[in-house]
Amino acid sequence: MCQWPQRPDSLIDEAFGELAKRWKPILDAFDEAAVDVCYEIHTGEDLHDGTSFDRFLDATHHHPRACICFDPSHFVLQQLDYLLFVDHYHERIKIFHVKDAELRPNGKQGVYGGFAGWRDRAGRFRALGDGQVDFKALFTKLALYDYSGWATLESECAVKEAIICAEEGAPRIRDFILPVAASDFDDFAGAGNTDPKQILGIGR
């Protein structure tokens, strides 16, 4: 977010303190019910990237129920690295919105969109597979971290009908979901033979 006009650091600190004050009783109540609260990291919101989420975690003393609803489309529109975000926050990601987006800046507009409607913005949401999110890499990354939550399709394309987005998107999600291999394909060393001479082919 472009901070203009500039704001004193003390005002930001006070704002996150106020957020924590309001959310802490809610987070505690959810903790008693053993339920996570998932904040969507979303353009234009208080928690819009990793840095702002970190400030909220600090303000809530890293509350265990303060978790993340992960939607990579908002990362494309902000030019954030959604794959590295998973590396940083995979333990907090509890739900995953499968939504695509594209950012194609031109000589008249970029991230902010120039007040244009959705279809005419440089950055806009697209149907799954029609945008710039690398979902194969993303599903692989989540699988490697044993993500066990929902992958929820969102149909908010600026161009295509929502029902078509759903009909096309659901099978694609099914194809993206992958079971992680139980062992490395060439793991001969872990196959039970631990004799170094046999492994190296050296006679006794």
Sheet bearing 37-40, strands edge to edge: 37-40, 66-70, 93-98, 150-153
Contact 158, 120 (CB under 8 A): no
Q: How large is the average pLDDT for residues 180-193?
A: 65
Q: How large is the average pLDDT for residues 182-199?
A: 66
Q: What is the pLDDT of residues 75-125, one digit of tens each?
A: 999 999 999 999 999 999 999 999 999 999 999 999 999 999 999 999 999
β-bridge partners, 101:
125
Q: What is the rounded distance in angstroms from the CA atom of residue 57 to the CA atom of residue 71? A: 19
Q: How large is the average pLDDT for residues 33-62?
A: 97
Q: What is the pLDDT of residues 153-181, one digit of tens each?
A: 999 999 999 999 999 999 999 999 988 77
pTM of the model: 0.87
Phi, psi of 66 (to 5 degrees): -85, 100
**Structural domains of the chain sorted by starting position, each given as residue range(s) with its CATH number in brackets:** 1-38+45-67 (no CATH), 71-181 (3.20.20.150)
pLDDT-based confidence at residue 4 (cuts at 50, 70, 90): confident
